Amino acid sequence: MKYLNNILSITIIILIIVLVTIGLISAIGSDVTKAITGFFWGIFGSFYGLSEVLVRATPLILAGLGVAIGFRTGFFNIGAEGQIYMGAIAATVIGLEFPNLPPFILIPLVILGGFLLGGFWAVIPGFLKARFGLSEIINTIMFNYIAINIVGILVRTSLKDPNYPLPMSPELPENMYLQQLLYPTRLHIGFIIALVASLLIYVLMWKMVAGFKMRAVGLNPRGSKCSGISVYKNILLASLISGGLAGVAGVSEIAGLHYRLLEGISPGFGY
């Protein structure tokens, strides 16, 4: 019954979105049929179009997983955007510092670095919430702007490519590129990483004791504390995983698509 209710809720939400979209299209005097046909044709009308949807879905899946874990634990992480940028910084620095490492070492190292720096960026607001009761919503939003501006500073100073007038880093070594899955599309193994991460997070949250504790803290912090579950530790753990996954989303954009650090590396995936 629970699954049926979830399916029903999702169906109702989709119908509402469709109706609102149709209403807006009609309100501006455009052809609804042509707009809807163009929408679906753009996605399913060609193999490349479908692959681009999956390319765009990759960072959204990773960042969404991170945000979902935070929400389940009562840590409302609105800072995935900044954590994506921090993951991108980590990927860039590691790639430039260790360009001669073989791919089977460099790629996992880049992913780990992005996870840790993105996680660190989320742990700070997590610590402030768990230790002092400060609002993680405000703090994570502020951290977004700090991270975005850090990238802006880096691509104009220490990480700027001297061969280009635009603010961007040098091109990263091919050793760290995420391999394309289907040529000539841009779909890369970051999409597979996102799917594997989804499975691992499901196992963590629903099949393991650690996930049960995090969900318990999210549902009832006081009750969890009375049961011997550390609210402090679980909020920190949730914030680390939440920010880490968003950081990996930043890695996927750097190592899978752009191959260099740019301003605006994320058009709002974290929101």
Report DSSP letters for 194-247, one per residue. Answer: HHHHHHHHHHHHHHSHHHHHHHHHHH-HHHHHHTT--HHHHHHHHHHHHHHHHH
Measure the CA–CA gap between 36 and 26, rounded to whole angstroms.
12
Q: Assign 168 to helix, strand or coil.
A: strand
Sign of the CA dihedral with 128 first, then 132, 138, and 142 last: negative
pLDDT digits (tens, 9 = 90+) for 55-73: 999 999 999 999 999 999 9
**Residues sharing a CB contact under 8 Å with residue 260, sequence separation 6 or more, in sequence order:** 92, 161, 168, 169, 170, 171, 172, 254
Residues 138-168 as b/e (b if ≥16 CB within 10 A, e otherwise) read: ebbbebbeebbeebeebbeeebbeeeeeebb
Q: State the pLDDT at residue 47.
A: 85
Binned at pLDDT 50, 70 and 90, residue 135 comes out as very high
Measure the CA–CA gap between 191 and 58, rounded to whole angstroms.
5
Measure the CA–CA gap between 52 and 61, rounded to whole angstroms.
14
Phi, psi of 220 (to 5 degrees): -155, 90
Which tokens go with 83?
């954590």
Q: Is the pLDDT of residue 4 over 80?
A: no
Share of the chain above pLDDT 90, in %: 78
pLDDT digits (tens, 9 = 90+) for 158-204: 999 999 889 999 999 999 999 998 888 899 999 999 999 999 999 99
Bigger pLDDT: 191 vs 270: 191
Q: Is the pLDDT of residue 245 over 90?
A: yes
Binned at pLDDT 50, 70 and 90, residue 18 comes out as confident
Measure the CA–CA gap between 125 and 143, rounded to whole angstroms.
9
Which tokens go with 109?
């190292």
Measure the CA–CA gap between 116 and 109, rounded to whole angstroms.
10
Which helix (H) or strand (E) covers residue 12, if one does?
helix 2-27
Measure the CA–CA gap between 102 and 20, rounded to whole angstroms.
51
Q: Is the pLDDT of residue 2 over 70?
A: no
Q: Is the pLDDT of residue 262 over 80?
A: yes
Averaged confidence pLDDT in the chain: 93
Tell me the H-state helices in 133-208: 136-154, 190-207
Alpha-carbon Rg of the chain, whole angstroms?
20
Measure the CA–CA gap between 269 and 65, rounded to whole angstroms.
12
Measure the CA–CA gap between 204 and 207, rounded to whole angstroms.
6
Amino acid residing at 170: P
Q: State the pLDDT at residue 63.
A: 97
**Whether pTM exceeds 0.85:** yes
